[in-house]
Homo-oligomer: A and B are copies of this chain.
Amino acid sequence: MKCPTYHIFFKNLANPLKVNIISLLKYKEMNVNELVKELKEEQSKVSHALSALNHCNIVVSRQSGKNKIYSLNKTTIVPMLKLIDKHKCKYCPGR
């Protein structure tokens, strides 16, 4: 009756950095360094985050020369974030 796996997926969306990565990838695919510069975060931090997102198939990657290009698996995430927007973040505490 209970789904013990939901929370593993949502753990990714419960993390500001990962959400920011998702937000950027909504507009265009990007390689790791582009994300690092845009987010002003440590390279390894971004890499760890991408790895987690990739495990849950939230992002996918392809190699392009020396770079690895990440893009969003939009089919699940985009509708989900739209639902939240409708729900209104104003209900949530903290900024």
A-to-B contact residues, CB < 8 Å: 1-11, 13-16, 18-20, 23, 55-57, 75-76, 79-81, 83-87, 89, 91-95
Main secondary structure of the interface of A (DSSP, over half): helix
Q: B14, A14: Cβ atoms under 8 Å? A: yes
Q: B83, A80: Cβ atoms under 8 Å? A: yes
Known contacts: A79-B83, A83-B76. The answer to whether A93 contacts B2 by CB under 8 A is: no
User: Which chain B residue has the least Cβ–Cβ distance from A54?
Assistant: B91
The 4 closest A-B CB pairs, nearest first, are A5-B89, A57-B91, A10-B13, A14-B14
Contacts of A84 in B (CB 8 A): 6, 9-10, 76
